[in-house]
Amino acid sequence: MAGEDHALARRSFNEWARQLAGCRLCRNLTLAAFAAILAIEVAILIPSYRNYEEDLLNERVDVASQAVITFLKHSRSREITIDALELLIASSPLTGVSLRRDGIEYEAGEAIRMPHPADGLLRSAPRTPQGTIDLSWGADPLLSDYEVLARVDVSDVSSELIAFVFRILGLSLLIAVFVTAVTMFVVDRMMLSPLLKLRDRISRAGEDAEHPLKYLTPTGRCDEFGEVEGVFNSMLKQNAAYLSRLKLLNRELDQLLEERTRTLRRTEQELKIRTLYDQLTGLANRSLFEEQLDHHFSDPDHGGGEEAVLVLGLNDFQALNGLAGHETGDRVLQEIARRIAGFSANHGWVARLGGDVFGLLVGERGRASTDIEVGISAVIEACQRPVQVGRKTFECEVSAGVAVSGLDGLDARTLLSHAEIAMHRAKKSPSQRVQFFASEFGDQVLHRQELIHSLKAAIENRQLQLYFQPQCDRLRRNTGYEALLRWHHPTLGPVSPAEFIPLAEETGLIVKIGDWVLEQAVATLKGWSEQGFTGRMAVNVSALQLHDPGFADRIAVSLRNKGVSARQLELEITETALMQDIELAMATLNRFRELDLTLAVDDFGTGYSSLAYLKALPVSRIKIDRTFVTGLPDNEQDEALCRTIINMAHTMGCEVIAEGVETEAQASWLALAGCDELQGYLLGKPGLQGFQGTADADDS
Ligand code: C2E
Ligand code: CA
Ligand code: CA
């Protein structure tokens, strides 16, 4: 048991020693203490050594001097003999002696050569190689008035001094070791152990950063170490505070994240709805419609009865929008959408395809009716019932295109595009409200696409030309010309503007083409003016050009560059184009007025016109459409219409020009009715020459 205790104590001592030795701080501290103690001891040793040496020498010299004094006291009465002196040398540390008095000298032993006063510092007296010092004592009553010279043996002093040094060094070492051990013990108690504990605490607190308060300890000490512990404790408390704030922030962040995710999901859903449904009517949009139809047509259960895709477009909706305002237009569209939706069995089978165009699946499954034609008629009839918006009632006409499943296509995309082509067909022929798709329509679409493609390069390829058709007053005197665009296609030959202008309008190409036309017209006008032409040039303008904010200024620049007066240029715009989105065109129309540019309302009588607007616009001329002139002078309806237009225009302060005048009868009737000017084949066909040519070239 005692052995075990012993072993345990040894182990813990070894550990402690290893710990101390491993601690750089303690090692340096104890080494420094050890060195300092040694240095102090050495510093003390040097003067002690000197004193001790002097003491030893004095002791030897004292013994020698006592021996000489005793010898002289005994010899006072007797004669001094050499033998007596020899005896003195043998019995004392003296190795040689010389006595002198009254000129008598007695000598024995070694000869004395370097006498040194005996009362001087013995340490500095010269020594013989045998370790003796030569001394001199002056005549003294103690020495019976003898002058004494003596050689004293001090050879044993060196060995005694060496022993002294060793003794002192051993003692110093012992003291140093003891002090070092004590220092080590104190350092361990006061610094190393607490330091290691603190280090351990810091590293554990670092590893377990989530529970800083677990590592708090009371600070018992009032020294710097206690301060360090205090600082660490306050750091732990601060960490705990940060941690709880961090946790709080984290929780808030989590909540925020959750909220954001929810909002994101909601937005995503809304976005999905927005991308699939039309915002205004709530009906499916084109992509959802196509997807649903595809899904339906690929279902093996479908195909029991005949089905068709019906595409419906409102006629003259743009005019309604322009005149009654977009808000009313939107309400009309919502109502029509509601009526069409009533015929659908599935919310994905009815859609707003864009603008005023709707799509619907009719037939067996589409539920409109088992018989397609009956179903379509019902839908159209429902759409054409008057729509009440506020106090106003609007009559809507629709054009419909139909593509029969299986016959006109198998997939949704084909059926839809065929039904749309058919609908456009129906729109073009006012007598036919419903048009079933026919395969030749497809060829027409291809032809259309080819035309668009080559129209894009028509200006660069110099395929466009301006023809000029004369306009005359009632006395058939020329008042001006209308510029009419011609396109000579390299393979198709001349393409009618009635065919390519709508294409250019649909594709936006009309803006670029229109600029070219205006530039050409102004350049021609300048040429003519130089040759004395004072009349005007009418140039046709499309709705899209009016919506172009830079349009009016480009005309002004062109006129200024060529030095042509704005009064000589008249812009012709059809009644329908003018009334469509009039608010949008207002900026350009006001700019026309500022620039002194005037407008002629083309094809008057074929669309809706708001007289209030007409009055507010810089309109100088109304052009009666050709279709009303054709019936003159026999068709009563046309007569009444022409007369009304002429009167109304005059009341508004506008002049009237009738277009498409082909016969003398038409010309005379119009002149009599008060029409100011005439234009038509009777007065001249459109030709290249214009002002200078007396014989206009043929249009064809
Ligand atoms: P519009 O402005 O109503 O032009 C009159 C059209 O009637 C011209 O057809 C002209 O050749 C034709 N015409 C003139 N007198 C008679 C006649 O006595 N009898 C008959 N049957 N026809 C007559 P065109 O040149 O084929 O132009 C068709 C339409 O193309 C024009 O109708 C106009 O709306 C448009 N257009 C022509 N050139 C331009 C242009 O430079 N820019 C724009 N935006 N449109 C143009
Ligand atoms: Ca015209
Ligand atoms: Ca016209």
Query: Euclidean distance between the first and final Cα of the chain, in Å?
Result: 135
Nearest ligand 1 atom to the CA of 545 is 44
Check if CATH label 3.30.70.270 holds for domain 286-437.
Answer: yes
Residue-by-residue DSSP string for 627-645:
HHHHTTTT-HHHHHHHHHH
Helix (H) or strand (E) holding 57: helix 24-74
CA distance 457 to 507: 13
Check if CATH label 1.10.760.10 holds for domain 451-699.
Answer: no
In short, whether 687's Cβ falls inside 6 Å of ligand 1 is no
Q: Which residues contact 299 (CB under 8 A, 6 or more apart)?
A: none
Amino acid at 122: L
CA distance 191 to 180: 15
For the ranges 262-276, 356-370, 457-471, 634-648, the lowest mean pLDDT is seen at 356-370
Question: Which of 540, 628, 681 has most ligand 1 atoms within 8 Å of its beta carbon, as the pocket-test mutant?
Answer: 540
Ligand nearest to the CA of 482: 2
In short, whether 469's Cβ falls inside 6 Å of ligand 1 is yes
Q: Which residues contact 556 (CB under 8 A, 6 or more apart)?
A: 566, 595
If we measure between CA atoms, which residue out of 204, 191, 265 comes closest to residue 232? 204
Tokens of 640: 């009444």
Q: Measuring from atom 26 of ligand 1, which residue has the nearest CA?
A: 497
Check pLDDT > 50 for residue 700: no
In short, whether 517's Cβ falls inside 6 Å of ligand 1 is yes
In short, whether 281's Cβ falls inside 6 Å of ligand 1 is no
For residue 1, the model assigns a pLDDT of 53
- Quote the pTM value: 0.52
Question: Which of 465, 471, 486, 501 has most ligand 1 atoms within 8 Å of its beta carbon, as the pocket-test mutant?
Answer: 501
Instruction: Write down the domain spans for the chain.
Output: 16-204, 286-437, 451-699
Q: What are phi and psi of 126, to 5 degrees?
A: -70, 145
In short, whether 313's Cβ falls inside 6 Å of ligand 1 is no
CA distance 152 to 114: 12
Q: Which of 5-9, 114-118, 304-308, 357-361 has the highest mean pLDDT?
A: 357-361
Ligand nearest to the CA of 469: 1
pLDDT tens digit sequence for 169-196 = 888 888 888 887 887 888 788 777 888 8
CA distance 316 to 327: 16
- 501 Cα distance to chain centroid: 45
Packed helices 286-297 and 412-428: angle between N→C axes, nearest 10 degrees: 120
Average pLDDT over residues 4-15: 74
Q: Which of 114-123, 402-411, 484-493, 614-623 has the highest mean pLDDT?
A: 484-493
If we measure between CA atoms, which residue out of 171, 185, 207 comes closest to residue 37? 171
In short, whether 501's Cβ falls inside 6 Å of ligand 1 is yes
